Amino acid sequence: MIRLDPALSQKLVRWVLVSLTALTVSILVFIITYVLLKGLPVLGWEFLSTGAVDAGRGGGIFPFIVSTVFITVVALAIATPLGVGTAIYLTEYTRETAATRVVRFAAECLAGIPSIILGLFGFITFVLFLKLGWSILSGGLTLAIMVLPTIIRTSEEAIIAVPQNRRDVSTSLGGTRWQTVTRVVLPGALPGIVTGIMLSVGRCIGETAAVIFTAGSALGTPTSIFASGRTLAVHFYILATETDAFGMAYGTAAALIIAILTINTLAYWMMHRIMRKYS
């Protein structure tokens, strides 16, 4: 075997790692600039504020922005209390038993289910069986199931990371378990929980397969959670597969990417603020 000079091998490793990082970053930058370059010319006030004309070949994406926001809000309004509640129960109200391991394993399995299967499940359960039809509610419920494992896991990790002595102090001052959870544990875990929620927002906005089956692809602006609505991602998918309006598709994609980048930036900014306040 050839033994390399240690100084040389150090240099080599450094060089390899730097190029790997550079490659990763450049892929990301390439995708974003490509989509923005193609999409930004379309993206204007009119595009954002008007409805689609001729199945999206003309007009704008306003109804789809509304649907996306609507579905995401419904999904998180359902998944956040469920997920955070489950995480609190698993970490603060029960000790490690076979049952908690089963719950965790089930959540992990749920996380591994392809979204198209969830879409099918949502279609059968919410759309057909519960007769909710293609609607914001059906889509929101399906997405809630999809992001639930993420919310449970990130919340659990955040809760576990809160130092035990804070709980002990609260208990020794006469705080009940619930008071300890709400006044000491959750404030400390908040940055982590918010991160999990923000990650989930990103996934909801970008999800296609799970919502196309459950929320449908109506072109109008949904006026209630029982109305069908087309999300931005679904609109993009339909434009790209069923029309030749690629310019409009890129405009939609650019709007999606900008939305997700904005949400992530906001999430980080919020996290830093909260972290500064609590640590």
Partner 1 sequence: MPAKIEVKNLSVFYGDFQALHEVGLRIKEHRITAFIGPSGCGKTTLLKTLDRMNDLVDGTRVEGQVLLDGEDIYQPGYKLIKLRKRVGMVFQRPNPFPLSIHDNITYGPRVHGVRDKGTLEGVVERSLQAVHLWDELKDDLKRSALTLTSEQQQRLCIARLAAVEPEVLLMDEPCSALDPISTLRVEELMLELKKNYTIVVVTHNMQQAARISDESGFFYLGRLIEFNRTKTIFTKPANKMTEDYITGRFG
3-state secondary structure (DSSP) of residue 12: helix
**Count of other CB atoms within 10 angstroms of residue 265:** 10
Nearer to partner 1, 170 or 208 (CB): 170
For tokens 């926001």, the residue is: 69
Give the whole-angstrom CA distance, residue 233 versus residue 227: 18
For residue 21, what are the contacts with CB-CB under 8 A and spacing of at least 6? none
170 binds partner 1 (CB under 8 A): yes
Give the whole-angstrom CA distance, residue 239 versus residue 258: 19
97 binds partner 1 (CB under 8 A): no
100 binds partner 1 (CB under 8 A): no
Give the whole-angstrom CA distance, residue 158 versus residue 147: 17
Q: Shortest gap between Cβ of 191 and partner 1 (angstroms)?
A: 12
Q: Binding segment for partner 1 among 1-9, 35-43, 171-179, 225-233 (CB under 8 A)?
A: 171-179
Number of amino acids touching partner 1 (CB under 8 A) = 19
241 binds partner 1 (CB under 8 A): no
Q: Which of 59, 133, 166, 240 binds partner 1 (CB under 8 A)?
A: 166
Nearer to partner 1, 92 or 113 (CB): 92
Torsion of the alpha carbons at 80, 82, 86 and 89, rounded to the nearest 10: 100
Q: Shortest gap between Cβ of 91 and partner 1 (angstroms)?
A: 14
Give the whole-angstrom CA distance, residue 219 versus residue 199: 27
Q: One symbol per residue from 30 to 69: x for binding partner 1 (CB under 8 A), - otherwise; what is it?
A: ----------------------------------------
Residues in contact with partner 1 by the rule CB under 8 A = 95, 163, 165-166, 168-176, 179, 183-184, 188, 278-279
